[in-house]
Amino acid sequence: MTLTDTDKPKTSGASKPAVFVDGASGTTGLGIQERLDALGEVAVKHIAEDKRKDAGAKRALMEEVDLVILCLPDDAAKETVAVIDTMGNSAPKVLDASTAYRVAPDWAYGFPELAPDQTDKIKVAPKVSNPGCYPTGAIALLRPIVDAGLLPADYPVTINAVSGYSGGGKSMIASFEDGTAPAFHLYGLGFEHKHVPEMQLYSHLTRRPLFVPSVGNYRQGMLVSVPLQLDALPGKPSGADLQGALAKRYAGSKYVAAMPLQNEAAKGGRIEPEALNETNQLELYVFASDKHRQAVMVARLDNLGKGASGAAVQNMRLMLGLADT
């Protein structure tokens, strides 16, 4: 078996954690690899191309590393996890970027900002599921206001979202880049989008939310929005109440920022999706009208950053004791 190690320790006598990115040629995997190369904190192990589908070679490599990051389709991720489950004390920690385990009770959910104790859960977990891009924005908006009692758990929530086409896989990327895709389209109109269970569970909603995703003709960047009729909510909260719940939850957060309230006095009344591209940042906004008693909560993020590769590296660092929060 031919293995290569592309990242040698830079400090004499220092030992770096070893990581294997399984599926490094995909969009998320490439993004993770770029971030790992820039950080230089881990030794990234690779399997030779001619051994990539060799189950024995892959198992041997996984026995050598501290953590495996899976950037695979759901079924392939499940197959690899099944192998890891047979490895006993030689098993590495695993971080899965697919949707296969995002609502599994024995996996830690990889959104450190979800709750005050979530970071500690990720640090000690042998298995962590990396969140979806849309759920990252939706949960970040909804969980704090549900926990604060501003939004009932059974409220009929609607979540609208638009993403750049890079989140749609190789065929979608190709169709936009060769000009055959439409400039914009809604999808998920069969009401079975795979991110909905994740959104519902971690937002603490008891009623299934209505989710309407869309794709625009730009490469990356995402907006996730939740419209609310304020007078239809118990207690009739104000936009300031919503913003205050977000600000309280994410106070001191490294990557998630509750932005100042955007009310009638705020100029512009618009937001674009690409401002946080190439970062792991997530911005949360409340646009509110006291006059009309309406609000729209908006999350802005890079669907390839905090929505995928950036979040994976953040979780990896926590799992390996490299102290990211």
Instruction: Print the domain residue range for 55.
Output: 3-131+308-319
> Does 325 fall in a domain?
no
Q: 144 and 292 share a domain?
A: yes
Give the phi and the psi of residue 241 in degrees, each rounded to 5. -65, -45
Q: How many structural domains comprise the chain?
A: 2
Q: 92 and 145 share a domain?
A: no
Instruction: For tokens 């695993």, name the residue.
Output: 94
Residue 65's closest CA among 103, 99, 22? Answer: 22
Catalytic residue among 36, 44, 67, 133: 133
> Does 324 fall in a domain?
no
Q: 180 and 290 share a domain?
A: yes
Q: 141 and 122 share a domain?
A: no
> Does 100 fall in a domain?
yes
User: What does the pLDDT read at residue 10?
Assistant: 30
First and final C-alpha spacing in the chain: 37
Q: 164 and 111 share a domain?
A: no
User: What does the pLDDT read at residue 260?
Assistant: 95
Instruction: For tokens 């006059």, name the residue.
Output: 291
Residue 310's closest CA among 199, 247, 221, 246? Answer: 221
Q: 144 and 163 share a domain?
A: yes
Instruction: For tokens 């009309």, name the residue.
Output: 292
- Measure the CA–CA gap between 227 and 199, rounded to whole angstroms: 16
Q: 146 and 264 share a domain?
A: yes
Q: 167 and 34 share a domain?
A: no
Beta strands in the chain (DSSP E): 3-5, 18-22, 43-47, 67-70, 93-96, 108-109, 127-129, 158-164, 184-186, 210-216, 222-229, 256-258, 282-289, 294-301
Q: 16 and 119 share a domain?
A: yes
71 is catalytic: no
> Does 263 fall in a domain?
yes
> Does 126 fall in a domain?
yes
Q: 149 and 218 share a domain?
A: yes
Q: What CATH number is attached to the domain comprising 137?
A: 3.30.360.10
- Do residues 113 and 121 touch, judged by C-beta distance below 8 A? no
User: What does the pLDDT read at residue 3?
Assistant: 37
The tens-digit pLDDT sequence of the chain (325 residues) is 333 333 333 333 458 999 999 998 889 999 999 999 999 999 999 988 777 778 899 999 999 999 999 999 999 999 999 999 999 999 999 999 999 999 999 999 999 999 999 999 999 999 999 999 999 999 999 999 999 999 999 999 999 999 999 988 788 888 998 888 899 999 999 999 999 999 999 999 999 999 999 999 999 999 999 999 999 999 999 999 999 999 999 999 999 999 999 987 666 689 999 999 999 999 999 999 999 999 999 999 999 999 999 999 999 999 999 977 7
Q: 168 and 98 share a domain?
A: no
Q: 127 and 12 share a domain?
A: yes
